[in-house]
Structure 1
Amino acid sequence: MIRIALLAPMGLLAACTTAEMKMPSNLADAGGERISFENMSVWNKGRFLAGSYSGGYERTLDRLSLFDLFKQDSGRASFTIAGPGISSTIEGHCRVRERALTLDSLEFKPGKMAYRCDLEAEGQPIPARFEVQESRKGLAENLTRNARRGEIALAGDIVSFRSVHDVAGTVLPVENPIGYVFEQDGKAIGALQLNGKPILTMPSGTEIGQRRAMMVASVALATFWDPAST
């Protein structure tokens, strides 16, 4: 039995490539707002600046392996964010777990990937939630092994999101998420590019509640060390 502390997922270490996610058509047009997450590095802790928002993050990911037959990934992450629409700070305390068995080169997951964050303000719980899980909805996601779907509910705004595996300018999708699209009522309202420096794209004039929810979700997703990328 081997336990490994993973310092940085290999997918993130290789993120210096220029590949970009394919954007939804309504966000691909010029004129939208692009917010870069500066200093959001591949390392296990640090501080970031994203437009008018700022904060810090810390994360770990451990892997328990048994003779290449059983694998369990578990990790924790925490972050803080302050900025427009946030009275002081919002803090996230997150955890991820995934279990997998390998039999004759086939992988079976008795415990699918799940990543959840408890959200607080000034150290006190708030009525909010954030969660992302492995997804197998429809043919496209069954063909894409590591598809994810999730939702954030914050201050009355509910925003769903799904992983993106299509790369701009190519036909074949990639196995692991290259970014996420945020949606309300089936319409894309934002997109988070994760290959390299995280970049959040949203239409100009996005309502403050939507902006706040997408910013908090973006920090949670950018802080997340996805077991699939290790």
Structure 2
Amino acid sequence: MLRPLFQALFAASAVVLTGCAGLPAAEMSLPASIAAERAESVQGLGAGRNGSFSLSAETGTFSRGLDRVDLFSVVNWSSASTRYSLVLADGSRTEAACSGKAVEVTWKVIAANAKPFSFECEWRGSRSAQLKMNAPVVSMTMKAERSGQFSMGGTTLEVESVHEVRGSSLPLEAPIGYVFRHDGKVVGAIELNGLTPRLWRPASGTALREPVTMAALALALLWDPSA
């Protein structure tokens, strides 16, 4: 199952939480430090395997996929791949190559992660960077949590999945988005609910704008192999 699985899950959650399909879809719960900031829409991602996108002055192209191998309905190997090329606001270009994987073992009604979710990206071109994300080896909750780091030059961002929905005490299992922290302070977020992700990022011209943008696009394009 591809990106539509996420959309179906989020849509169903929104209906349960609001009690009416005609009301707005569920929105990610944002930290107070950025909740009042204006979000930017990532146009063009949709649910396709290939395409082009735009984000204010930045534009790009992408390709992505998700493969699953099911062995006797007991062992399930999943792997995801993503590539995108981004033309930054100053006209320079960087390209990302990402891969994600997970292995799940199911016995009767019990499912366990034999190899928890992992996701890695590398950027080449005018900007060089790395992103590494993992699920916890042991989780005490039902949430499919992910966390990791994005590194570019001397800048490091802490990345963490968000499962809380605004106005509800009921968290979602799959991430509805991610937040980005620098030196412990939230500096950005990406909401993945629906066909058009929404991005909160630092102001144009600031040092953290490009790192947040690059990491957020990689996560927005991911077809999560654990979903």
Q: TM-score, normalised by structure 1?
A: 0.85
Aligned length: 214
The answer to whether the 8 Å contact 1:12/1:42 transfers is no
Question: Equivalent of 2:120, from 113, 116, 126?
Answer: 116
Q: Given residue 134 of structure 1, which amino acid in structure 2 is its aligned partner? A: A
Aligned partner of 2:166 in structure 1 is 168
After superposition, the Cα gap between the structure-2 partners of 1:169 and 1:199, relative to the gap in structure 1 and judged at 3 Å, is same
Q: Tell me, what secondary structure is at the counterpart of 2:226?
A: helix
Which whole-Å CA distance do the structure 1 matches of 2:124 and 2:164 have between them? Answer: 34
After superposition, the Cα gap between the structure-2 partners of 1:96 and 1:57, relative to the gap in structure 1 and judged at 3 Å, is same
Q: Tell me, what secondary structure is at the counterpart of 1:47?
A: strand
The answer to whether the 8 Å contact 1:100/1:109 transfers is yes
Q: TM-score, normalised by structure 2?
A: 0.86
1:45-79 per-residue CA deviation (whole Å, 9 max, x = no partner) reads 11001011110110010100022211000121100
The answer to whether the 8 Å contact 2:77/2:101 transfers is yes
Aligned partner of 2:20 in structure 1 is none
* Structure 1 unaligned regions, length at least 5: 1-5
The answer to whether the 8 Å contact 2:122/2:128 transfers is no
Which whole-Å CA distance do the structure 1 matches of 2:226 and 2:102 have between them? Answer: 10
The answer to whether the 8 Å contact 1:155/1:209 transfers is no
Question: Equivalent of 1:56, from 33, 52, 61?
Answer: 61
Percent identity (aligned): 28
Which whole-Å CA distance do the structure 2 matches of 1:13 and 1:171 have between them? Answer: 20
Q: Tell me, what secondary structure is at the counterpart of 1:132?
A: strand
Which whole-Å CA distance do the structure 1 matches of 2:75 and 2:206 have between them? Answer: 45
Which whole-Å CA distance do the structure 2 matches of 1:10 and 1:82 have between them? Answer: 29
* Structure 2 unaligned regions, length at least 5: 15-24
Which whole-Å CA distance do the structure 1 matches of 2:33 and 2:81 have between them? Answer: 35
The answer to whether the 8 Å contact 2:78/2:226 transfers is no
Question: Equivalent of 2:144, from 146, 151, 159?
Answer: 146
Aligned partner of 1:90 in structure 2 is 94
1:176-221 per-residue CA deviation (whole Å, 9 max, x = no partner) reads 0000011012111111110011111135x36532110011001100
Q: Tell me, what secondary structure is at the counterpart of 1:225?
A: coil
Q: Tell me, what secondary structure is at the counterpart of 1:228?
A: coil
Which whole-Å CA distance do the structure 1 matches of 2:142 and 2:114 have between them? Answer: 19
Q: CA deviation at 1:222?
A: 0.8
Aligned partner of 1:130 in structure 2 is 131
Q: Tell me, what secondary structure is at the counterpart of 2:112?
A: strand
Aligned partner of 1:187 in structure 2 is 185
Which whole-Å CA distance do the structure 1 matches of 2:68 and 2:190 have between them? Answer: 27
1:26 maps onto 2:33 in alignment:
yes
Which whole-Å CA distance do the structure 2 matches of 1:24 and 1:142 have between them? Answer: 23
Which whole-Å CA distance do the structure 2 matches of 1:142 and 1:195 have between them? Answer: 25
Higher relative contact order (CA 8 A, sep 6+): 1
Which whole-Å CA distance do the structure 2 matches of 1:136 and 1:110 have between them? Answer: 9
Q: CA deviation at 1:12?
A: 3.0
Which whole-Å CA distance do the structure 2 matches of 1:194 and 1:223 have between them? Answer: 9
After superposition, the Cα gap between the structure-2 partners of 1:177 and 1:7, relative to the gap in structure 1 and judged at 3 Å, is closer
Question: Equivalent of 1:101, from 105, 117, 125?
Answer: 105
Q: What do you get for the CA RMSD once the two structures are aligned?
A: 2.1
